[in-house]
Amino acid sequence: MSGTVGRLHVIAGCMSSGKTGELIRLLSRHAVTGDSIVIYKHIVDSRDGSMARSRLGTEMEALVVAEARCIDGETCHVVAIEEGQFFGEELVGVVRRLLRDGHMVYVTGLNQDFRGEPFGVMPTLMALADEVSLLTAICQKCHGVGTRTQRIIDGSPAPWDSPLILVGGADCYEARCPDCHEVPGRPQA
């Protein structure tokens, strides 16, 4: 890559906030200028196979990987990483290496888990980013500004002690505003 330091743009928000759609829009601009692009997604995100697909149907081919160390981007100027929250702390070192090598790096992910707590490596990446796009959705309960991800199990909000990662779509998750977001069994602070 070139001798210049790369740039990191993190696109974060709750479920249904348009993170993948925004990523695809930005990557399409790079494609128009002839930049080489690669998208990586974690193997735990089994939805849509090897496609990065928005809820509106826009899509781009992605490489499915099991670990952050599998992300190299060696042959591409623009490196995109979908669902960054699924990668461990190792992702920070990978992103730093990509930036040192002069790549333009995009990372999408949930900034909060279903409990409303910071999710995995995303807060660190947001702090390191040159640009952060924090997207919102429409609360599926009151139609206010949705900033939280509500996990639904058998039609009810998931309790605090539910597993942290449960891959699913609209049948398992809803966007909620802070007033409508419920986490039964949340420990009192």
Q: Tens digits of per-residue pLDDT, 36-90?
A: 999 999 998 766 677 777 777 777 788 999 999 999 988 899 999 999 999 999 9
Both tokens of 163, joined, read 């597993």
Structural domain range at position 38: 7-136
Structure tokens at 95: 């992103």
**Domain assignment of residue 62, yes or no:** yes
CATH at residue 119: 3.40.50.300
Confirm whether 175 is domain-assigned.
Answer: no
72 contacts 62 by C-beta, under 8 angstroms: no
Annotated active-site residue 117? The verdict is no
Q: Which of 59, 61, 67, 83 is catalytic?
A: 83
Name 49's Cβ contacts closer than 8 Å, sequence gap at least 6: 64
Q: What is the mean pLDDT of residues 147-168?
A: 90
- Any domain includes 167: no
Instruction: Report yes or no on 161 lying in a domain.
Output: no
Q: Could you tell me if residue 155 is inside a domain?
A: no
- Predicted confidence at residue 1, as pLDDT, reads 47
d(CA 39, CA 28): 12
* Residue 183 placed within a domain: no
Give me the number of domains the chain comprises.
Answer: 1
Distance CA 48, CA 26 (A): 20
pLDDT band at 91, cuts 50/70/90? very high
Is the residue at 24 inside a domain? yes
Is 1 among the domain residues? no
Q: Is the pTM of this model over 0.85?
A: yes
pLDDT at position 183: 97
